[in-house]
Amino acid sequence: MAIPVSRETLLTCCHSGAWADAVLAKQPFQSMEKLIEGARSAWWNETPITGWLEAFAAHPRLGDRRGLAQRSGAFSDLSRDEQSSAAGAAEATLAALADWNARYEARFGHIFIACAAGTPADRMLAMVKQR
């Protein structure tokens, strides 16, 4: 039995229209494993750099409580959950994270992206400084 997948659902986990369209073109998916395989293939082999930048731009900056709070929908719910470990961070840590995020964006042309799930703000700060 095929797993139903919609563009809207795909965009909640990766906000790139080109990627979502490439995944949809691979349907039907007979298992979750095949869906994940197709999604990975679409990202690495079929999504142009503009699609990557679209996905990056949809992400809230790490530690940006205000920006995260202003977003709505399932994608932002996932981002809020992922960044929840930074919720108790000191204001000084969040300010430093914002500063280093801005430096990263100025240097590379897009925001700093990392898997933040379960990662405290001070560790995220060390990660962005390292890059």
Selecting among 14, 35, 59, 96, the annotated active-site residue is 59
Active site residue 15: no
- Could you tell me the two tokens for 39? 């999604």
Question: Cα–chain-centroid distance for residue 13?
Answer: 7
The dihedral through the CA atoms of 7, 10, 32, 23 has a sign that is: positive
pLDDT tier, 13 (very low <50, low <70, confident <90, very high otherwise): confident
Dist. CA 91–CA 89, nearest whole Å:
6
Q: Provide the whole-model pTM.
A: 0.72
**Cα angle 115-118-121, degrees, rounded to a multiple of 5:** 80
Instruction: Summarize pLDDT for 70-114 with one digit per residue, the tens.
Output: 544 444 454 445 555 566 678 888 889 889 988 999 999 888 888
What kind and span of H or E run contains 80? helix 74-82
